[in-house]
Structure 1
Amino acid sequence: MITELIGMLERLNTLRMNKSHTQQSLKHVLPSSLSNLSLLNDLDAHAWRLSGTIPDEFEKLSSLEKLDLGHNNFCHLPYSLRGLSYLKDLVLANCKELKFLPLLASSLVKLTVANCTALESISDLTILASLLEFDPTNCTKNIDSQVASKYLRNLSVLGSEIHHWFVQEIPCFANRINHSIKGIIIGVVFSLGQTKQKAFRDKLTGSVDIHAKIIRLDVTIYTTVLDWREVSEVDEDQLRLCRYVDFSKLVLMLEEGDKIQIATRETPYFNGLTLKK
């Protein structure tokens, strides 16, 4: 097979074997020849129909920085992932048979396990000293809430209520003496309904129909979509929390008296999305 010849490309840096997750195909396994690619830094096996247990040979991919195994059917990850000392971005979104998350490389900066609904346990995240972004959307039942909140960038759960400590009206930013702003968390309740453009929506990096705006002296000076990639595939109301850290533009641009407003696009891209709170 062609995939078995991949190992001959010993100087390969990027390998994309990804398929559309709506595409029907036979189950695959990762070719054993991958272990020869010691210079590979980006491996995308998205929707490759991987099942069972992933082979424990990843430690041989010693230069790997990004690994996307999303939309696959395996139930266990190899312990050798912990040995990837350069791995920064690990995507496991929609691996709905994944039951256990082992100890991972301490170099990780971003970890996505959104919609891994079968997860029964997650190893200690506190050892991931470099972790900045963690997305556990729809798989939070076994995650320590204090640990998750430290790294959380996006979180979605079924529900129609926003916690009382959120400001319900349009907030006005005020500098506090001897304090610096560390970030902003935006909470929204929305429903999706049945959208015909689902396959297209899953490729987006944000909700193109819900915007966060900075308003200064009644003029909108900055607009950004709410930053999320995965959503629950149900018709029920969903509560989404989006965290913008101190180096994000939404935070950096704030000045005394600015207001932050959440609003929907006047002409929506997707039928069925409703912003409720």
Structure 2
Amino acid sequence: MKVNTPIIVAHRGASYIAPENTIPAFKIAFEEKADFIEGDFWLTNDNEIVCIHDSDTSRVSEQKIKVTSSNLSELKKIDVGIRKGGRFAGATIPTLQEVLQIIPGKKGLHLEIKDNREKFLIRLKEIFIEMNVSLQDIRIISFHRNIIRASKKYLPEFKTYLIFGWYFSKGNVFKSLACKLILRKLNTVICDGVVLYSDSYIDENFIKTLKKKNLDVCIYNVEDAQKAIELTKLGSDSLTTNSPLLIRKAIQTGIE
């Protein structure tokens, strides 16, 4: 039986080696044959969308500045690369436009919306129009159901994925109820796919159940080669990893 090769998504770029959510990390990810990159985005005080995971800069730099209350010019002064070594010194927080500009043809972006405000989507739509972004190039993903719902309002033609965190599989009780809890939550929102934390509750039957609902199934936190092969054989549509080349090679070897 032929096994379909899942899309490889580089989590915050090739973040095992480069500073996460930066242009160097994204470029290396594509060099390592990632199909998509995944980045986290917030809206600044002056209405620009920037790529950074946390709500402030303390974890990735020597300064602590809140993203949503700062202007782009302030954020651009922060070095978010030096903690990964001198090779990356001077790397800055990229704008969404800068990220979109370095995506090669036939590649794409899992755009995670961290900012839980509707005005983020208004600006996002403006940027997509300005840059003539293709539907095939973007997946809008978020933990926030209100953002997924609003995305269908502002950008109905783009695919949206609801993310589920590791806590759905924490402890034996959660593992036994994880599938039921996820399906119950999915009944409250219209989306095109799910992004699930890699864990033991994900099996062939659960993936089939999700696909019967016409949902794409993306699994994240896939860092183990054998796990990647297993999830591929179960029918996952995409795998999100910090190490795209490692997982690509594992899948190619494991399904031949």
Scaled by the length of structure 1, the TM-score of the pair is 0.30
Where relative contact order (Cα < 8 A, 6+ residues apart) is larger, the structure is 2
